[in-house]
Amino acid sequence: MSAIFSVRSLVSAAILIGISQQVLAHGFVEFPKARQQFCVNDGGYWWPADGSGIPNLACRQAFTEAGTVQFVQNNEFSINVSDYNNLAAVKTAIPNGLLCAGGDTAKRGLDLPSAHYQRSTVTPDANNQIELLFDAHTPHNPSFWQFFLSNSDFNSANESLSWEKLTLVDELQDQPIVIINGKKFYRIMVTLPASRSGDATLYTRWQRDDVVGEGFYNCSDIRIGAGTVDPTPDPIPDPTPTPDAWVAAGAYVPTGVNPKAGDEIWFRVFSAQGDERVFERLTITPSNVANWAQELAGVIAASHNAQVQVGVKQTNGAIVFSATDIVTNQVWLQAADQSYRLDLKSAPSAIVALTGLASEYTLAEGKAQLQLSLSATNSPNQAIETQVRVQTLGAPAGAWVFEQNLSVGETVQALAISLTQAGDYVLHINQAVSGQAQQFAFKVNAEATTPPTACGISDPAAGQYAAWNASNAYQMGDKVAHAQLVWQAKWWQQGSEPSSNNEAWQLVSVVTQPWSASMGYPQGAQVSYQDKLWQAKWWSRNEVPSASSAWTDKGAYVCP
């Protein structure tokens, strides 16, 4: 399903559906819409419990894999990378298979391959630019932006997004905040390659310039080159908030924030320009996991009472924290244009990283050798039980052509995989304890064969028949001459060229042809391959003669 929007229509839709002003997280790509936001807008993930109420199949698959966190925390697809100016460090923190999740395994469902991701149609202007709208619940400056576009050979239907399939297409520094219908947005012109059209995935990185190195990552599935550009963008009103002693900014504890021991809770307050004014963080331990909200509120009151208060406003104007009914507590700020965040920062998950996998291989002497490396991150002194499996694309579950169980630690571990058949493959990496799953698509090409004309194959009898003509209609049993050989039609046809790969024609000439991976051979058929003559023991297709028991070596082949 695709979605065709101008920014004008998108903002109008925001008015109609009444987007909540509650500050739950930093933001997300509103247009072209991020994957998780399509799922949030569709709904259906709270009931029934099995996810059957989720209308979109990609969103339902994501729910089945990882639950509701990826939808509840739709504005918080983020990770901290202290060396954030080093893209190699970012790639290590966000391994292949977790790009759309921002490196968070709790949101891994949105990285699974699917043909059902919903797309926004975008039309570049005369400068090859599209307008991107980022819903900035909590602005952060200084910061910078990077925009990556998937390569033309990437297909979200059968592979997860990977760094190898991305190209950096645009970079920008601090962007100004605009107010649209009372909400804060970053409105950014992003340049795309002039040569691109059709389906692609836009990968947005919004990186804060701070000590922690907090960055936000969103995948937007797009369709380039159709639709209409809105030449008159919406006017940006000049907000004039009415000052108040204390302004309610939203619920203190957002829905879905349920920390466990080892996690951290961050609480921050930002000015209208995105400057950080308050920053408190609380480590969750077994002793405070039940009352962390009250403990953090006490810290805020003790250190920042003049800038922010947490509690329920009384009739006399006082703000008092309710320890008995946590959900009633609000965050109160000094001005309406300020904002706040309460974030759950989960302990980094252990991830198995894969390197060395190419996008294509070619059979050589009947085999394709994959030399891979595996290593564990965020898993000191503990190996990750991992299952590595390979299957052909589209094969049923359990039809593995390779399967091996490994204990992967932080030391790089080599893995060799040998394949003997050409085709499209998917490599699966599954972690036993966490359930983290990664998929990588690659292709194995057939071995190069001797061109059919290398031996000057011909049949003198071909001169006795009329040459095949694409405009003629042929009945079953008609014989023609083509490529110096005699062919017989199996059924009525027109415009179908005779060849060994065309099942509409039967080769009448008794000649030995070079082996072809795409042709089926009956028992007793003979072919030439690598200067040898081979005879089929039984019917076969895509079985390399030198590497398969389906063929008998009949000795050296000499051109007639």
Q: DSSP string of 249-269?
A: EEESS-TT----TT-EEEEEE
* Cβ within 8 Å of residue 292, ≥6 positions away: 259, 265, 282, 284
Give per-residue pLDDT as tens, 428-476.
999 887 777 888 999 999 876 544 445 667 888 888 999 999 889 899 9
Compute the distance between CA of residue 29 and CA of residue 10 in angstroms, rounded to an integer: 12
* Cβ within 8 Å of residue 333, ≥6 positions away: 246, 247, 249, 269, 307, 308, 339, 340
3-state secondary structure of 555: strand
3-state secondary structure of 247: strand
Domains along the sequence of the chain with CATH: 2-224 (2.70.50.50), 247-345 (3.30.70.2150), 352-439 (2.60.40.2550), 460-556 (2.10.10.90)
Indicate the angle between helix axes 35-42 and 57-66, nearest 10 degrees.
100
Give per-residue pLDDT as tens, 141-161.
688 999 999 999 999 999 999
Q: Which DSSP symbol is given to 142? A: S
The pTM for the full model equals: 0.46
Compute the distance between CA of residue 8 and CA of residue 30 in angstroms, rounded to an integer: 12
pLDDT at residue 85, as a whole number: 92
Q: Which DSSP symbol is given to 467? A: B
Compute the distance between CA of residue 175 and CA of residue 132 in angstroms, rounded to an integer: 12
**What letters, b where the CB count within 10 A reaches 16 and e where it falls short, cover 358-393?**
eeebebeebbbebebebbbbebeeeebebebbbbee
229: phi then psi, degrees, rounded to nearest 5: -80, 130
Under-50 pLDDT residues of the chain: 1-25, 227-244, 450-453
Compute the distance between CA of residue 369 and CA of residue 506 in angstroms, rounded to an integer: 36
Q: Which DSSP symbol is given to 367? A: B
Compute the distance between CA of residue 403 and CA of residue 111 in angstroms, rounded to an integer: 22
